[in-house]
Amino acid sequence: MCGIVGYVGSRPAVDVIMGGLRRLEYRGYDSGGVALVTANGIASAKKAGKLVNLDGVLQENPLPASTTGVGHTRWATHGAPNDINAHPHLDASERIAVVHNGIIENFAVLRDELEDAGYDFVSETDSETVAHLLHRELQNRPDVTEAFRAVCRRLEGAFTLVVVDAQTPGRVLGARRNSPLVVGRGEGENFLGSDVAAFIEYTHTAIELGQDQVVEITADAVVVTDFDGQPVSTKEYTVDWDVSAAEKGGYDWFMLKEIHEQPQAIADTLLGRIGTDGRLQLDEMRLSDGELREVDKIIVIACGTSYYAGMVAKYAIEHWTRIPCEVELASEFRYRDPILDHTTLVVSISQSGETMDTLMAIRYAREQRARVLSICNTNGSTIPRESDAVIYTHAGPEIAVASTKGFLSQVVACYLLALYFAQVKGAKYGDEIQLILDELARIPQAVQQVLDNADQIHKLADRLSSNRSIMFLGRHVGYPVALEGALKLKELAYVHAEGFAAGELKHGPIAVIEDGVPVFVVVPPRARDQLQEKIVSNIQEVRARGARTIALVEEGDDTVVPYSDDVIRLPRVPTLLQPLVATVPLQLFACELATQLGHDVDQPRNLAKSVTVE
Ligand code: AGP
């Protein structure tokens, strides 16, 4: 997710901003930029790539001295990661500079409106809309803060915005909705940041902005209101983290931070998917409805955790669209001579967009005349560039080697794809699709509920930390969840862990069950009556052989309680969506167990974040 810094005070703003952006580098980004308020108006510089590129630009063409400005590191969502799409964005008169984090859901409507009013856009971003809107608003309301509030009232979606106005020097404005913004309070200087790492070098006094609030900072004052200009009370707090902890948002590990970011990652991945006609829209679909109607077979290819997201996808795709769907490891795909033609849609899933096995598989698929749609978290990476269509997950950069928010947002993107097919093929009525979208919209809250119960999982990890072998069982969509739980544990805790389809137990795996072996069991919601009963029998089977059983089961289902040593409660959600809540305790468990064993959770041995060799 983008990094944002705003500064007003007496120091050279460019130094404060560049320092802040460097401390926010951990968030991941693909371009950077800075804008200063100078005696001669806004002076700005921006550059694609790492901050060292922006440094180069600033050294070659230093910006005039200034003590007020904004800076940004961008993680591309709308538009490629290039110089033009980098922030800040200016209005045509170069009076306003805007930096933005998030997704402005109604930007297409606003852009049309502004273009009709004669505004020209230079970038492909949703963010530029704000600069032009603010310029237009200033024609009616001369006070920039008032005009800014009026702009915020028109925006839908998620945004952190930070703005400077050349005609109001010494003032920096910020606003937030569904995206973080923190104020840093100094002596004779004040700061804005997407998190405290932006200003921790200068002050440890911070104010967290609430939802739908606007802040105006000058060197000596911080004024916070709601979007209508009504004053709101704020509370200062002292940040007692050092710089490295601040980068991780106060968490011990990036992985833990990313686990806790999952409600937001899911919400962001769902944002902006409904068009003005109430129908599902997928921005970079690039395949026409006609082409999609021709699809008679879907093959999902991916590696590791992304492959498990694909396994979940199969259940949703086949159930909602009735299109046959296969799921295959990308590393195996092209070596088995798969049957492909132009009616086959190959769906690749990759968080990084650079995994070599997946890349080679999609190249092969396209050579065989199949169409390729990629689900990816990294805008501008190789796999989406080489695909016919893309659905970007909006999880923000994933730093920890073990994928967490990447996985959940991939699963959400797969559901969106399945529903889109159902819409295009007429396999579901609009109101049926809407019902599922409504259920999906409730998932961030459900995931939060699981996270709020993290303590129970930590205690469990403590009790199981001496076990050298742990099993995971699941059925239906719980099966890939079991596989993912086992993979997380292997990756992080270096413990022997295996996931099984519970129905397979009696065909072999039950032989390894002995006294005290912990077995996690993902219990399907009772809506899947037969399956639920069958898994209760499976729990009894392993328990009878001495296993220590840990049931992940929906609230209100007490049928497993007599056979479970531990019960982890999951919020009630529809069967097909259960992986989104059931995976989270397993991520927390692996992270905590690895921590207790003293391992480096973010950089496990022998593993790389992006596997760019076959
Ligand atoms: C998951 O925790 C992994 N580290 C790994 O399995 C990963 O999911 C796999 O390498 C695929 O990566 P990708 O999604 O970036 O293509």
350 C-alpha to ligand 1 centroid (Å)? 7
Among protein residues, the one with the nearest Cα to ligand 1's atom 3 is 402
For the chain, what is the mean pLDDT? 93
Q: In the chain, how long is the greatest CA-to-CA distance?
A: 80
Among protein residues, the one with the nearest Cα to ligand 1's atom 9 is 304
Which residues contact ligand 1 via a Cβ below 6 A? Answer: 303-306, 350-352, 355, 358, 401-403, 491, 607, 611
Kindly give, in sequence order, each residue whose CB lies less than 8 Å from that of residue 60, ignoring residues fewer than 6 positions away.
Answer: none
Q: Hey, which of 253, 258, 303 would you mutate to test ligand 1's pocket, going by the most ligand atoms within 8 Å of its Cβ? A: 303
Kindly give, in sequence order, each residue whose CB lies less than 8 Å from that of residue 573, ignoring residues fewer than 6 positions away.
Answer: 439, 442, 443, 446, 525, 554, 580, 581
Angle of helix 144-154 versus helix 128-138 axis, rounded to 10: 130
Tokens of 613: 């060799």
| Rounded Cα distance, 313 and 349, in Å | 10
394 C-alpha to ligand 1 centroid (Å)? 16
Higher pLDDT, 245 or 419: 419
Mean pLDDT in residue range 406-411: 98
Q: Return the percentage of the chain with pLDDT > 70, whole number.
A: 98
The predicted pLDDT at position 77 comes to 77
| Rounded Cα distance, 573 and 611, in Å | 34
Among protein residues, the one with the nearest Cα to ligand 1's atom 10 is 304
The predicted pLDDT at position 1 comes to 64
Higher pLDDT, 385 or 569: 569
454 C-alpha to ligand 1 centroid (Å)? 24
CB 3 within 8 A of CB 162: no
CB 207 within 8 A of CB 234: yes
Which of 272-276, 361-365, 457-461, 490-494 bottoms out in mean pLDDT, i.e. has the lowest? 272-276
CB 34 within 8 A of CB 45: yes
Q: Return the percentage of the chain with pLDDT > 90, whole number.
A: 82
**Torsion sign over Cα 60, 61, 66, 67:** negative
Query: SS3 for 235?
Result: coil
414 C-alpha to ligand 1 centroid (Å)? 16
Q: What is the pLDDT of residues 13-52, one digit of tens each?
A: 999 999 999 988 877 788 999 999 999 999 999 999 989 9
The predicted pLDDT at position 131 comes to 97
The predicted pLDDT at position 259 comes to 98
Beta-carbon-side half-sphere exposure of residue 404 (alpha carbons within 13 Å) = 34
Q: What is the pLDDT of residues 107-131, one digit of tens each?
A: 999 999 999 999 999 999 999 999 9
**pTM of the predicted protein model:** 0.80
Q: What is the pLDDT of residues 218-251, one digit of tens each?
A: 999 999 999 999 999 998 988 767 776 677 878 9
CB 29 within 8 A of CB 73: yes
545 C-alpha to ligand 1 centroid (Å)? 34
Q: Which conformational region is residue 375 in: left (phi greater than 0), alpha (psi within -120 to 50 degrees), or beta?
A: beta
50 is catalytic: no
Question: Does an H or E element contain 239, and which?
Answer: none
Q: Which atom of ligand 1 is nearest to the CA of 611?
A: 10
Q: Hey, which of 305, 383, 487, 613 would you mutate to test ligand 1's pocket, going by the most ligand atoms within 8 Å of its Cβ? A: 305
Q: Hey, which of 352, 411, 583 would you mutate to test ligand 1's pocket, going by the most ligand atoms within 8 Å of its Cβ? A: 352
Q: Hey, which of 327, 606, 611 would you mutate to test ligand 1's pocket, going by the most ligand atoms within 8 Å of its Cβ? A: 611
List, as one string, the DSSP characters of 448-475. Answer: HHHHTTHHHHHHHHHHHTT-SEEEEEE-
308 C-alpha to ligand 1 centroid (Å)? 10
Query: SS3 for 320?
Result: helix
Q: Which conformational region is residue 502 in: left (phi greater than 0), alpha (psi within -120 to 50 degrees), or beta?
A: alpha
Q: Hey, which of 253, 350, 403, 494 would you mutate to test ligand 1's pocket, going by the most ligand atoms within 8 Å of its Cβ? A: 403
The predicted pLDDT at position 237 comes to 86
Question: Does an H or E element contain 600, and which?
Answer: none
List, as one string, the DSSP characters of 359-417. Answer: HHHHHHHHHTT-EEEEEESSTT-HHHHTSSEEEE-------SSS-SHHHHHHHHHHHHH
Q: Which atom of ligand 1 is nearest to the CA of 403?
A: 2
Q: Which of 411, 417, 364, 356 is nearest to 382 (CA)?
A: 356
Q: Which atom of ligand 1 is nearest to the CA of 607?
A: 4
Among protein residues, the one with the nearest Cα to ligand 1's atom 8 is 305
Q: What is the pLDDT of residues 433-454, one digit of tens each?
A: 999 999 999 999 999 999 999 9
Q: What does R_g of the chain's alpha carbons equal in angstroms? A: 25
The predicted pLDDT at position 194 comes to 87
Higher pLDDT, 484 or 179: 484
List, as one string, the DSSP characters of 530-584. Answer: HHHHHHHHHHHHHHHTT-EEEEEEETT--TTGGG-SEEEEE----GGGTHHHHHH
Q: Is the peptide bond before 88 cis (omega within 30 degrees of 0)?
A: yes
Among protein residues, the one with the nearest Cα to ligand 1's atom 6 is 304
108 C-alpha to ligand 1 centroid (Å)? 33
Among protein residues, the one with the nearest Cα to ligand 1's atom 4 is 402
Q: Which atom of ligand 1 is nearest to the CA of 304?
A: 6
CB 449 within 8 A of CB 571: yes
Kindly give, in sequence order, each residue whose CB lies less than 8 Å from that of residue 235, ignoring residues fewer than 6 positions away.
Answer: 207, 208
Kindly give, in sequence order, each residue whose CB lies less than 8 Å from that of residue 59, ignoring residues fewer than 6 positions away.
Answer: none
Q: Which of 371, 380, 249, 204 is nearest to 299 (CA)?
A: 371
Q: What is the pLDDT of residues 525-564, one digit of tens each?
A: 987 668 888 999 999 999 999 999 999 999 999 999 999 9
Burial environment of residue 14 by CB neighbours within 10 A (0 to 12, 13 to 18, 19 or more): buried
Q: Which atom of ligand 1 is nearest to the CA of 378?
A: 15
403 C-alpha to ligand 1 centroid (Å)? 6
Q: Looking at the predicted structure, is the pLDDT value of residue 608 above 80? A: no
Kindly give, in sequence order, each residue whose CB lies less than 8 Å from that of residue 556, ignoring residues fewer than 6 positions away.
Answer: 572
The predicted pLDDT at position 27 comes to 73
Mean pLDDT in residue range 138-152: 96
Token pair 């693909």: residue: 30
C-alpha dist (Å) from residue 259 to 150, 252, 270, 513, 584: 35, 12, 18, 30, 7
351 C-alpha to ligand 1 centroid (Å)? 7
Q: Which residue out of 2, 152, 376, 591 is catalytically annotated?
A: 2
Angle of helix 443-451 versus helix 262-270 axis, rounded to 10: 170
Which of 99-108, 307-316, 581-590 bottoms out in mean pLDDT, i.e. has the lowest? 99-108
Q: Which of 49, 43, 95 is nearest to 73 (CA)?
A: 49
Q: Which residue out of 297, 425, 534, 609 is catalytically annotated?
A: 609
Supply φ then ψ for residue 173, to 5 degrees. Answer: -110, 145
Tokens of 366: 């396209």
Amino acid at 329: L
Q: Which atom of ligand 1 is nearest to the CA of 302?
A: 16
Overall residue count recorded for the chain in this entry? 614
Mean pLDDT in residue range 282-309: 94
Among protein residues, the one with the nearest Cα to ligand 1's atom 16 is 350
CB 430 within 8 A of CB 278: yes
2 is catalytic: yes
306 C-alpha to ligand 1 centroid (Å)? 6
Mean pLDDT in residue range 184-204: 93
